[in-house]
Every structure is written in structure tokens, then in C-alpha cells.
Amino acid sequence: MKNKKKHIAILGSTGSIGTQALEVISEQSNFFEIEVLTANSNSNLLIQQAIEHKPNTVVIADEEKFQEVNDSLCPHNIKVYAGADALAQVVEMDTIDMVLTALVGYAGLRPTINAIKSKKNIALANKETLVVAGALITNLAKEFGVNILPVDSEHSALFQCLVGEVYNPIEKIYLTASGGPFRGMNREQLANVTRAQALKHPNWDMGAKITIDSASLMNKGLEVIEAKWLFGLAPEQIDVIVHPQSIIHSVVQFNDGSMKAQMGLPDMKLPIQYALAYPQRLNASFPRFNFMDYPNLTFEKPDTHTFQNLALAYDSMRKGGNSPCVLNAANEVVVDAFLKEKIGFLEMSDVVATCIEKATFVANPSYEDYVGSDLESRQIANDLIK
């Protein structure tokens, strides 16, 4: 019997996760077919991807690039749309089986909500969606019977460890962190780090925003909040451990004290493929781990005095309401400012902390409250940077 192909929409196909997902889908073409590709403004790469993978539809968020993309793809009978509304609406297509949300930041929220309401299973690489609106997203997923399959390597690891453990309570989870390029540095040393230094991650090849977040430990903070919603955990059940080799991707501890870990070489294609193919594990050509190449796996506590973002994320998670939304919006602004060399590395945490203090707190936010909180936090952050 011939396998029915799963039709995939990739939101953010020109980014790091999107391009790697296309490699996975090309290798597993018996199982997957591209239905939709979207990009923010990288029209050249989007056109190349569309010609190669022949989706039904593409969306370019930057409306000024519409004509260029449409002229290039019209001879290939590929439908082209532009703008934020088109990006949010395209996920509703009946021909889509699964939506891979690989957009960066807050931009992923609205399309993910629409995809869930259209009963599409979600392969979630956009952690900010759960950081910003975890309660809203998880409630919608239950209401519409949609699975949210994590793509982040740490959350994929936890998910894999929990398969078959549905009736067994989680005592604790450990999210592993590489420590980033500045592990071991003190605040005096960090005061002078440059954009170029921060963009050199020791183990992972990622986009600029997530690489800076990893260097500042904000990425781990966002992952802590994401884990709370994905796995229904209390803040005290989530711990972070620095593991510089990035071989153990995360650990689950059960109520009998037993622990399960998922291991492998640092390669995002594995968790991408796992999420797309779940519950199957597909044969793959990924490099295999060799214990003899890594005779020593080491672990240490994160330094939350030096890297304050992780502590800020925990504080926001405990406070709840719209606080994580404020944290995320402020962080998106400061990372952009750091990449444009308008702000120092340590100043990023200071601005985020001030935004959390100054922004209006909403205990039980609606979608409109999240939108308002995002705008307010960005305004405060921009005013502080000027």
C-alpha cells in the first residue's frame, strides 16, 4: 500500500529552521509534500525554494516584494500572496495537513492561532508563540483537538522521553544549555563583547536572533516558559543545566527517581523530522553519535548573576499573566538594537527588566491584551534605547 504523503506548510521557509526542514522533506519525499512556503522579505531565496519544491502557494510578508515574487513564479503556476493578513490566512487551506511554524518571534502568534482553529497539527519551532500566549494557545489546541509537536531540540527531547509515559507523573525536567560562546565570563568581560563574537555559537548553526538569545541565555529562559505550557509543569519542576557538549538534549525525571534523556549530535534536522513524521521514526542519513568522540560529558549550574535573562524569564513565568509577553517583546527590541550596535550586551537585560517593571500588568489577558502588551513593551524598550 502506498504511503499517503503529508502536505506541509512551512511558515518562515527562508530561515534556519525552514531551510533545514526543506532538506528533510527533500530526503523524505515519499512521506512529505510542500503545500505552502512563506518568507518575511527574502524574496530571492523564496523564489528559488518555490521553483525547486513546487508548492501550491507562497506568501511574502513584505508587500513591496510581491511583484518580484509573482512575476518569477507566475510561469510555474504557483499562487503568490503578500502581507501579514495573507500569512495568517494561508494556514486555513484545506490541502494542508501540518503547519511548521518557523517564524521568528511574536510574528508567529496570529498564524499559529489561525492554524489551530483550522484544525491543523502544529510543528512548533516558534517558541515565542507559547511564551507570549501559552494559556490561550494550549486552551485552543485542546478545544480544536490539535497536536502541538515541539521542534526545539530540548522540547523534542522531552517529548521523546515522555512517549509511553502518559500515566506517569513528571517530577522534574532538566533543560540542557550549551552555555553559549561566553560561558565562564564575568560581567566585566561581557561589557565589551561585540556583535560578531555573540554570533559565534559553539555548537549550533542558527539564525541571528536565536544565536544572540543563546549567548545571553534568554533563549533558555524562553524555553523554560515554553516547557511549562507544553508539558503542564509548575516553575519549580523546571531546571536548567549547562552541558557544553550539547549531546544530551534534555532529561525527564519521574516520581520514582528514574531519569530518561534523549541524546544525539547537535543537528536540528532530527527534531524537525521527528515532529513532521510523528508517530513514525523515519530512516535518515544524519551523522551518528560515537561515544568515543565524546568520552567526557560535563554539567554545571547556569550563572544567573552574570546572565540575568534566565532569572528574568523565571520571574516572568512565576508572575504569569502578560508578563512573559512583555519580556518577549522587550527582548525582541533589544536584540535588534544589539545587532545594529545601538546597545551593549549587558544593557539588553537592563532594558528588559525595566520594561517588565513599567509595563501594565494584566493577570488574565485576552488576545487583544497580548497585542496591546506587545506594543506597549516595544514602545518602552525603544524609548529606553534612544
Tens digits of residue pLDDT in 8-51: 999 999 999 999 999 999 999 999 999 999 999 999 999 999 99
Are 82 and 220 members of one domain? no
Spatial neighbors of 52 by CB under 8 A, at least 6 apart, are: none
In a domain, 377, yes or no: no
* 131 lies in the same domain as 167: no
User: DSSP label at 289?
Assistant: P
Domain termination residue (choose one: 292, 319, 346): 319
pLDDT for the residue numbered 33: 97
**Nearest Cα to 99, choosing from 21, 175, 159, 169?**
21
Q: Which residues contact 31 (CB under 8 A, 6 or more apart)?
A: 3, 5, 6, 277, 280, 282
Cβ contact 263:289 at 8 Å: yes
Residue type, 197: Q
Residue 360 lies in a domain: no
Bridge partners for 252 per DSSP? 173, 260
226-247 pLDDT, tens digit each: 999 999 999 999 999 999 999 9
For the chain, the domain total comes to 2
Q: Beta 248-254 vs 259-263: how paired, if at all?
A: antiparallel
Beta strands in 105-247, from DSSP E residues, in sequence order: 121-124, 148-150, 170-177, 238-242
Write out pLDDT tens, residues 146-165: 999 999 999 999 999 999 99
Co-location of 190 and 146 in the same domain: no
CA distance 361 to 81: 37
Q: 366 lies in a domain?
A: no
- Domain boundary residue among 319, 341, 359? 319
Asked if residue 160 and residue 137 are part of one domain, the reply reads no
What grid cell was written down for 99?
Answer: 503547519
Q: Using CA of residue 58, residue 62, residue 64, residue 68, what is the dihedral sign?
A: negative
Domain with 94 in it: 6-150
Determine the pLDDT at residue 1: 42
What's the confidence (pLDDT) of residue 257?
97
Q: Does 254 reside within a domain?
A: yes
pLDDT of 270: 97
Is 221 part of a structural domain of the chain? yes
Q: How far apart are CA 220 and CA 212, in angstroms?
A: 11
Q: Which residues of the chain are modeled with pLDDT < 70? A: 1-3, 202, 204-205
Percent of the chain with pLDDT over 90: 92
At which of 124, 150, 176 does a domain end?
150
